[in-house]
Amino acid sequence: MRLFYTPNSPYARICRIVAIEGGLADALELVRVPLRTPDSPSLRHGPLGKIPLLVDGDLVLGESRLICGYLDQRSSNPPSLPSASDWQAQARESLMSGFLEGITNWSREKRRAADEQSPFILEVEEQRAIRAFEHIERTIPAPPAEPPITYADLALVAALGMVDFYGLVPDWRGAYPALAAWLAAYEALPSVQETAPSMAAMNPLTRSL
């Protein structure tokens, strides 16, 4: 299996953590690709040029959630995805996915040239993020001794990783201490440390959204 990815993609990060925790790291070849360029190797496997993209034989699978489901089937770990009928777990996953999507939009906007940034989008995403922080702070469980490796939890880990990396919400740990304690339990995992965004892996956006 090959996973086309960029090191700082939060969606690829979720898949990479699921693979590592599921004992699949050796079975998954990581292929780092540039984005938004016509010569990206991912375009040999499909038209979209988006990552993460998992290629296994003639299967070409996009969307991090589906990729995690595929990895789940190859691992003996508890699944990262909830059962289709567990609506409370699905609802929690949709909350965390939506939070990650908003944070991703916000960070993309902030990385555009200053004179191309939309003050309206920046404001909308900041307000969305603050509402989500306040909601999640009220509902987050105590720091788990053994952090569950679920898509929902990893979407939250990945979103907070982006918040830290791009400095989107200064001192959020002081404002949301329960969430900070929860994240610390995940940050102790080698799989989470190994996949954290880094300046060394930073790619300038070659084409803006």
Ligand X SMILES: N[C@@H](CCC(=O)N[C@@H](CS)C(=O)NCC(=O)O)C(=O)O
36 binds ligand X (CB under 6 A): yes
Q: Closer CB to ligand X, residue 2 or residue 173?
A: 2
Q: Closer CB to ligand X, residue 20 or residue 185?
A: 20
51 binds ligand X (CB under 6 A): yes
Return phi, psi of residue 114, to 5°.
-50, -40
| Contact string (CB under 6 A) for ligand X, positions 57-96, x = contact | ------xxx-------------------------------
33 binds ligand X (CB under 6 A): no
111 binds ligand X (CB under 6 A): no
Among 1, 24, 35, 43, binds ligand X (CB under 6 A): 35
DSSP string, the chain: -EEEE-TT-HHHHHHHHHHHHTT-GGG-EEEE--SSSTT-GGGGS-SS--S-EEEETTEEEESHHHHHHHHHHT-SSPPSSPPTT-HHHHHHHHHHHHHHHHHHHHHHHHHS-GGG--HHHHHHHHHHHHHHHHHHHHHPPSPPSS----HHHHHHHHHHHHHHHTT-STTHHHH-HHHHHHHHHHHTSHHHHHT---GGG----SS--
32 binds ligand X (CB under 6 A): no
52 binds ligand X (CB under 6 A): yes
Q: Which stretch binds ligand X (CB under 6 A): 20-28, 48-56, 76-84, 117-125?
A: 48-56
- # binding residues, ligand X (CB under 6 A): 11
46 binds ligand X (CB under 6 A): no
Asked if 182 and 8 touch (Cβ cutoff 8 Å), the reply is no
Among 3, 4, 9, 197, binds ligand X (CB under 6 A): 9
Minimum Å gap between C-beta 171 and ligand X is 26
